[in-house]
Amino acid sequence: MSLPVHQPRKKINLDRFIFVERYAPTLIKWDILAYFGTHPHTTASALDLSQMLDRNYQVVRRNVGDLALQGILDMLNDSPHPVYRLTQRNPYLRDLVQQIVTKTAAPFPESRW
């Protein structure tokens, strides 16, 4: 009787795995980070993002607020309709978002954004 042949497993990049678990555990957060990772110099309000991502405004607003509190997005003003961008304060997180987005298939066609 022969034993089954196991294919070698690919190594998981632990930094990327932890990043996704911590910052993008839901599809909406992944969509927001994928957008900013694809457009790292863009600023957008929650309303703008909800329209670009075709998502509910209240859901987007809550999630960009969470991502700003986590330090992955910068909130540029403290008005009732703040504007967000990919963090400038933490180059490591900024680069990691861009790396993950460029190495992962985009969740939406680029033309959607």
Establish if 92 belongs to a structural domain.
Answer: yes
Sign of torsion, CA 86 89 95 97? negative
32 token code pair: 């927001």
Establish if 69 belongs to a structural domain.
Answer: yes
Establish if 6 belongs to a structural domain.
Answer: no
Other residues' Cβ atoms within 10 Å of the Cβ of residue 79: 9
Q: What is the mean pLDDT of the chain?
A: 86
Higher-scoring residue by pLDDT: 7, 28: 28
Establish if 8 belongs to a structural domain.
Answer: no
pTM flag (> 0.85): no
The confidence band for 113, taking pLDDT boundaries of 50, 70 and 90, is very low
Q: Is there a contact between 30 and 24 (Cβ–Cβ < 8 Å)?
A: yes
**pLDDT at position 100, please?**
87
- What is the pLDDT averaged over residues 83-109? 83
- What is the pLDDT averaged over residues 94-105? 84
Residue 18 sits in a domain of what CATH number? 1.10.10.10
